[in-house]
Structure 1
């Protein structure tokens, strides 16, 4: 918290300091747009340190409640089926398909000096993202995010810290998703015509 000192006078007319604690302000101003391409409709995609590795293409999605790990990250971290715990509740993919997860795994995410364990649900479906961090992560971090400003802000050691998104990476992910969908539709069309 920020500490403000106010001077008050006592009966001896000597100044006395009173401490007033004000909560940290977790918000955004026009200065937070500096370095972003405006206007835009980009998702908030960032690099996070997961399991000791800098992982690019992490979708920061405050609307979701499920933290997801996709096959590319699963393979990159050399995880094995025995590393997973059971998770048998189906989830719905971006394409609206029901997906049965491979399992769940708890991994540390480090942000600055703060480390927090996150339980990822591992799915075996295509995604241009490596992972998704979701609302429970925000709540645990006491964070706020903005896709407009391309930032996540959170309190840490009486300061406001931030994670900055990467618009170029977000746009690459969209292009990859569109190309994947076109290739999938083209393959399905070719198979129907055979």
Structure 2
């Protein structure tokens, strides 16, 4: 019995790549750590364009399920209370406190030529960040983020684009949050009886 090879049919991925339609592979390597301070435990804090304004101190939090906006940014974007729509669920803050949202607002987040509409939950609470962008935005953009590499990558126009974190700003935000936190340790004195 002999086996004849049939002419190879072009692989679908190759034909898509030739047409510029293939999705690039997203990932991180040690090379992506160049330019960062290592080792570190810094959050991924970036600058993005929201509602037509460049906004600094955005926390990229892939563990969060909703995008959060804090009062300073809401006022800075010149938004008014009547711009909000109702949001009925309660949220839990980093300190474990229940937070009642003021409402929600839909705004565009732009990264290079990509624009994703996002529903921000507006809360009246302190944060060293202006906003938290979370899984809904990351997933809509097709992005992956790495705090270790201080980058976020996403596919756009057949290429891999990057948003680079600002470690200095991340550290300033951490210092601000720590200095504002009330002492949780009770003051006690030891007495010998």
Compare the two structures and name the one with the higher strand fraction.
1
Q: Which residue of 2 aligns with 1:144?
A: 144
Alignment partners' CA distance in 2, 1:25 and 1:88: 39
Could you tell me which residue of structure 2 aligns to residue 100 of structure 1?
Answer: 100
Is contact 2:44-2:60 (8 Å) kept?
yes
Q: Tell me the CA shift for residue 129 of structure 1.
A: 0.2
Aligned residue number for residue 42 of structure 2: 42
Kindly report the root-mean-square deviation, in angstroms, between the aligned alpha carbons of the 2 structures: 2.0
2:133 equivalent in structure 1: 133
TM-score, normalised with respect to structure 2: 0.84
Alignment of 1:1-194 (within 5 A): 18=10, 20=14, 21=17, 23-182=23-182, 185=183
Q: What is the Cα deviation at residue 23 of structure 1?
A: 4.3
**CA displacement at 1:181 relative to structure 2:** 1.2
**Alpha-carbon deviation of 1:144?**
0.7
Secondary structure class of the residue paired with 2:55: strand
**Which whole-Å CA distance do the structure 2 matches of 1:136 and 1:62 have between them?**
9
Question: Matches of 1:50 and 1:25 in 2, distance apart?
Answer: 27
Gaps of 5+ in 1: 1-9, 11-16, 190-194
The count of residues paired between Structure 1 and Structure 2 equals 171
Where in structure 2 are there 5+ consecutive unaligned residues?
Answer: 1-6, 188-193
